[in-house]
A and B are shown apart, each in its own frame.
Chain A
Amino acid sequence: MANRPPNLSETAGGPRPTWGEPSRQLDDWLAIEPNGTVIIYSGKVELGTGVRTALAQIVAEELDVSLARIRMVMGETGRTPDEGYTAGSKTIETSGVTLRRAAATARAALLEMAASELGTEPDALIVQDGMVMLPGKPGRRVSYAGLIAGGRFEREISDVAPLKRPEEYRLVGTSAPRLDLPAKFTGQPAFVHDLRLPGMLHARLVRPPAPGAMLVSLDESAIRDARVVRLGDFVAVAAQREEVAIRAARDLRATWSEAPALPAMETLSETLRQAPATDRVVTESGDADAALQRAATRLSATYTTPFQAHASTGPSCAVATFDGETMTVWSATQGVYPLRGALADLLGMPLERVRVIHMEGAGGYGQNGADDVAADAALIARELRQPVRVQWSRADEFAWEPKTPAMVMALSGGLEANGAISGWQFDGWSPSHANRPRQAGGFVAGRLIGAPGPPPRGFFLGGDRNAPTDYTLPDQRVTLHWLASAPLRVSSMRSLGAFANVFANESFMDELASAAGADPLAFRLRYLDDPRARAVLEAAARRAGWGEPMPSGEGRGLAFARYENTEAYAATVAEVAVDTASGAVRVRRIVVAHDCGQIINPDGVHNQIEGNVIQSLSRALKEELRFTPAGITSLDWQTYSILTFSEIPVIEVELLDRPDQPPLGAGEPATVTTAPAVANAIYAACGARPRAIPFTPARVLAALEERNWW
């Protein structure tokens, strides 16, 4: 079946999900209006990546209509197909394929109808922007809208309806402008934050200082013109005026019990390595121990990544209304059907009486607070029986959004006397990254009203992503020590564990190359058989001028990965300058070569890659979520700072287009190669080997102290 669930790994195990099985009925995906407009019903949602436009391009191409005729309806329970989550950069490669087949099925059906009406064979007909014609006979024509006449197709999506060949494309493969940007550049309502319902109240939350703290007392005496909602430890205020709600949240005096202490940040990696874990061998070949034993040189290194935040620029927001029968929630969720299931559990309502409608939020990059604020809004709307808009504060977002977990990676490797790798061993420590809410306890609000914590999923996700390298290593063992829990609430964030694992693997590969006295590019190529892998590495090196001399204090580093070992290929070269007095790293230039198979929209892919580079550079250089035993202390943009314009390097992107290959997601691959390319460039520049993200000046100075010239 071409139409596989959007993210199989997130559906496995645990209670049977109530989502993720999209319909095969063509009419559920596509309709043609009497005026010729083609409506596409997509279960995917726009997260700021441009999929609204790319999916429209795919359908317009296969159906032979102009892009202007397409209207996208995305992410609404009861109205669009159930495609589970928009996640893992899989929209184009899964939903895009389904929509392509849907459009091809519709086109074939319309051509059959036209052939019978025009008294000819379907093969004899051509289509121009939804008008079916007999070539050379201008009078013999009929429009799609006329053929379907407001009716339905009444058939299943066919897996054998003829598809266009790549050389016939006129729209796919072009940089069609984004459909959503004009509204965003002119101040039209574009986000869930902009939704206003008649009689709508503005709500703010009053959260405990940390999870696990319980409400001891609540003093409402200072509250004016606002209503207080209390359900167990869940506390919110709502008012007609937003600024009144903000003031009420500040003036409400809540006393909380002490929360369980968080571990010390300074010793976090030791804490993680000693925590209860389930050990799983991810991949094993040959005999890593024996190969290491007989190696002429042995190396070991431990790498760490910290807790990091999605840090969306717009704190999460949702609007909900309850009419006594049905709960309707507008949300920037990544999955309207999964969210509906979890909300139904939270509210104790049947699925049919919960409606979730997607509206865009600020970019999320995984599970930020979007689902949680939807739960907050639903609870408050039910209590107050009025439409309510809930806006998380900046501090709410940093404190309560799920984080990407801190991880530890310990590697050992050996070299034969001739410099060949002899044994490779990887041990990683990570919790599962799969924690999207499925029931009440999956929400912050659910826990606060007393719902039990979510049951164990029975599977682990994300921590092992790209733990195996893409190199052909005869003797290797890759083991994940899956932590039963994490000190902070964690969930999916762009590339999951691959960000950490590729940082470790590609840094260690560089350490081995250095120990072998080999060029890092040549050393990698020695272990790469896949021609597409070699091609991106060579393209990035060529574009960057690999091997050309650099000024003193500057260096060039490279890194490569095939995302998830089976998806798109990315190679990154970084050029940095290091101030050895201060430890400050200045990244001057990043070159990326990228192969994601067939490219639907080249500018869209460019945009994604640039975003991957800048966001991952920010994570590599600056980002570490800080906390004390009492709770999270990174609560604003000064205590959690991200890359700014002054720090943006020159970015060059080379796309290796392969129109004859299946399209692969472009939202994540170039996220994973940045940090190791920069680490390797820092080493090339000054001999300091940064093994802990972020590469702050203090860390680089410390690495300089222990520098070890091989």
Chain B
Amino acid sequence: MAITITVNGRRHEVAATPETPLLYVLRNELGLSAPLYGCGLEQCGACTVLRGAEAVTTCMLPVAEVESAQITTLEGLIEDGELHPVQQAFLDEQAAQCGYCSNGMIMAVAALLWRTPHPTDEQIRAALDGNLCRCGSHARILRAVRRAETLMWGDEN
């Protein structure tokens, strides 16, 4: 019985067994590159996608569990060729060095700003604590969150 998942608004029938982590289905069956393997232990956030409006890691998430969910990846944040405000904010702030963690950071910020349009500094840090960056781009990423907040909702603090 094949599994069907919805990713970036399109339905895909996949050949993976039900327990296969979503990460490998996204990368190898759907040919997506944004979610990256970082630990396979839900400890680093590199493989993050949106399930509905919630940021989730995919390295241990069985594909069968997301059959009825709307999955959005970094690729799917782009609408009609326009970058999502969080992507734009990361570009404006040059908020990366190697960029391996960028996927997870952007997805976590997108989920945060949807849930909490005007987060406190503590809320931002708490929301990103599960996303590891080894290059030390944290200060820029924090600035990018504030810029994205303005791009998304304006200056109504």
Contact = CB atoms under 8 A, between A and B. Distances in A.
Interface of B: 16-17, 20-21, 24, 27-28, 31-34, 36-41, 43-44, 46, 73-75, 78, 83, 87, 90-91, 94, 96-103, 106, 124-126, 128-129, 131-142
B33 A194 contact: yes
A19 interface: no
A202 B24 CA distance: 11
Given A242-B24, A610-B136, A612-B136, A185 B87 contact: yes
Contacts of B98: 47-48, 313, 360-363
| Residue among A184, A196, A646 facing the most chain B CB atoms (10 A cut-off) | A184
B87 A191 contact: no
B41 A186 contact: no
B94 to A, nearest CB: 6
| Residue among B16, B74, B132 facing the most chain A CB atoms (10 A cut-off) | B132
A685 B63 CA distance: 52
A391 B126 CA distance: 30
A314 B78 contact: no
A615 B33 contact: no
Contacts of B124: 645
A669 B140 CA distance: 20
Given A48-B135, A646-B126, A188 B94 contact: no
Interface of A: 47-50, 175, 177-178, 180-182, 184-191, 193-194, 196, 202, 241-243, 246, 311-315, 360-363, 365, 391, 393-394, 603, 607-608, 610-615, 618, 636-638, 642-646, 648, 651
Given A613-B136, A614-B139, A184 B99 contact: yes
A647 to B, nearest CB: 9
A608 B136 CA distance: 9
B126 A191 contact: no
Contacts of B32: 187
A637 B138 contact: no
Contact of A394 (B38, B91, B94, B138): B38
B24 A243 contact: yes
B132 A614 contact: no
Given A314-B36, A638-B43, A645 B136 contact: no
A187 to B, nearest CB: 3
A610 B39 contact: no
Given A314-B38, A363-B97, 13 more contacts: A49-B97, A185-B91, A186-B87, A188-B33, A246-B40, A314-B46, A361-B100, A607-B140, A610-B136, A611-B135, A614-B138, A644-B129, A645-B129
Contacts of B101: 313
B33 A636 contact: no
Nearest to B125: A645
A610 B139 contact: yes
Contact of A243 (B20, B46, B75): B20
Contact of A196 (B31, B44, B135): B31
B40 A393 contact: yes
Contacts of A196: 31
A651 B139 CA distance: 7
A618 B137 CA distance: 13
9 contacts: A184-B102, A185-B91, A187-B32, A187-B74, A189-B33, A242-B27, A243-B20, A243-B24, A362-B134
Contacts of A613: 136
Contacts of A618: 136
Contacts of B38: 313-315, 394
| Residue among A182, A363, A603 facing the most chain B CB atoms (10 A cut-off) | A363
Contacts of A394: 38-41, 43
A614 B37 contact: no
Nearest to B15: A241
A637 B97 contact: no
A363 B99 CA distance: 8
Nearest to B37: A391
A637 B96 CA distance: 21
Nearest 9 Cβ contacts at the A-B interface: A48-B98, A614-B136, A187-B34, A184-B99, A363-B98, A611-B136, A362-B100, A187-B75, A637-B43
A362 B38 CA distance: 10
A177 B103 CA distance: 19
Given A315-B37, A636-B43, A181 B94 contact: yes
Nearest to A614: B136
A187 B97 contact: no
B136 to A, nearest CB: 3
Contacts of A361: 98, 100
B134 A185 contact: no
Contact of B99 (A180, A241, A315, A615): A180
A651 B46 CA distance: 25
Contact of A642 (B90, B125, B134): B134
Nearest to B97: A48
Given A186-B78, A637-B43, A645-B129, A314 B102 contact: no
Nearest to A245: B24
A603 B94 contact: yes
A646 B125 contact: yes
A185 B75 contact: no
| Residue among A185, A190, A314, A361 facing the most chain B CB atoms (10 A cut-off) | A185
A313 B132 contact: yes
Nearest to A610: B139
Given A184-B99, A191-B100, A314-B36, A611 B137 contact: yes
A185 B96 contact: yes
B140 A610 contact: yes
Contacts of A242: 24, 27-28
B84 to A, nearest CB: 9
A43 B8 CA distance: 39
| Residue among B33, B78, B124 facing the most chain A CB atoms (10 A cut-off) | B33
A435 to B, nearest CB: 21
Nearest to A182: B91
Contacts of A184: 96, 99, 102
Contact of A48 (B75, B99, B126, B142): B99
A474 to B, nearest CB: 39
B109 to A, nearest CB: 11
Contacts of B133: 313
B97 A314 contact: no
B46 A313 contact: yes
Nearest to A183: B99
